[in-house]
Copies of this chain bind each other. A is one copy, B any other.
Amino acid sequence: MSGLEKLQKSFESYFAHRHFPRDPSSLYDPLEEFLLNSGKRIRPVMCLLGNELFGEIHQDAYHIAAAIELFHNFTLVHDDIMDRAPLRRGKPTVHSVHGEPTALLGGDAMMVVAYDYINKIEAHYLKNVLALFNKTAKEVCEGQQYDMDFEKMHTVSLPEYIKMIELKTSVLLAASLQLGSIVGGASEGNQNHIYEFGRNLGIAFQIQDDYLDAFGDPTKFGKQVGGDIQSNKKTFLMIHALETATGEMREILLSAIAENPVNKIELILVVFKACGIDTWANALKEQYLTNAISHLDEIAVSKARKESLRELAYYLITRDK
């Protein structure tokens, strides 16, 4: 078992208990159930890794990891309402089973319980931890708002998209690492580097996500390949294609977007390949990975201690599902 798998198991065993009161069960039981349908627990594991990089893992890192996991799940419950999504991780979403009011209120309660976990940590770093947690939570909300705003916009530039991804996805990964590092006793300089490692890695992670939607192996990729293309989602690939495609390719692209032909995904993939969007995306991902690793290199601990974070980085950006 790798270092990552060990931490994942260790977090699961800490997290395997009831998080909410019994009553009202109409509010809390759907939340317990949602948390069991787990996902990969990437963020809590990153929190534990952030601690481990600087010292033995302290109980407080588990508390913060739980808070992060609850916060992340709260955003999923609310995002699913906003997106009117019927499914999440292959199961019906909370609002589609229990109704919007309960999903909305349940998300609220989940967020409060996240703060309960934060409040379990030792008092001396509570203020710092809470400050970073709050800053991140606000940024995640901002990212979601930009994402919704972008849906209504005709064009979105690459820098605008990257800023949105940074807020919506990257900062929570980065903060997970930094929060763990605070518990581990990292200096401010090292905290900054581990945050930047996570922020850059988060963008590379999203590029991989967007890439898999278009070029993933349908036998491995959990979702329908081309789902983003079908729904005209502005992704790294689509934004770059719109910025670079010319001549016939541009015409095919624009008419496929406007007219939704039955072979839309196929047509747009032809454009993506012809314009070298796949190669471009991989190169951009490598660039963010390189930035991330350079910050990891700067952290003043032995190279051996950094192995798990390096493993995580390569796992996240080479995954095929």
Compute how far the CA of A126 lies from the CA of B119 in the bound complex, rounded to whole angstroms. 9
Compute how far the CA of A107 lies from the CA of B105 in the bound complex, rounded to whole angstroms. 11
Task: Report chain B residues within 8 Å CB of A112.
Answer: 134, 137-138, 141
Compute how far the CA of A118 lies from the CA of B116 in the bound complex, rounded to whole angstroms. 14
Are the CB atoms of B148 and A102 closer together than 8 Å?
yes
| Copies of this chain present | 2
Task: Report chain B residues within 8 Å CB of A146.
Answer: 24
- With both beta carbons as reference points, the residue of chain B lying nearest to A141 in the complex is identified as B109
- We find that the number of chain A residues with CB closer than 8 angstroms to chain B is 38
Are the CB atoms of B109 and A82 closer together than 8 Å?
no
Task: Report chain B residues within 8 Å CB of A142.
Answer: 21, 23-24, 27, 109
Are the CB atoms of A134 and B119 closer together than 8 Å?
yes
A82 contacts which of B101, B127, B148 (Cβ < 8 Å)?
B101
A279 contacts the other chain (CB 8 A) = no
Q: Which of A103-131 contact B (CB under 8 A)?
A: 104-105, 107-109, 111-113, 115-116, 118-119, 123, 126-127, 130-131
A145 contacts the other chain (CB 8 A) = yes
Q: Which of A224-277 contact B (CB under 8 A)?
A: none
Are the CB atoms of A21 and B138 closer together than 8 Å?
yes
A81 contacts the other chain (CB 8 A) = yes
A144 contacts the other chain (CB 8 A) = yes
Per CB-CB distance, the 4 closest pairs between chain A and chain B, nearest first, are A27-B145, A82-B101, A109-B141, A112-B137
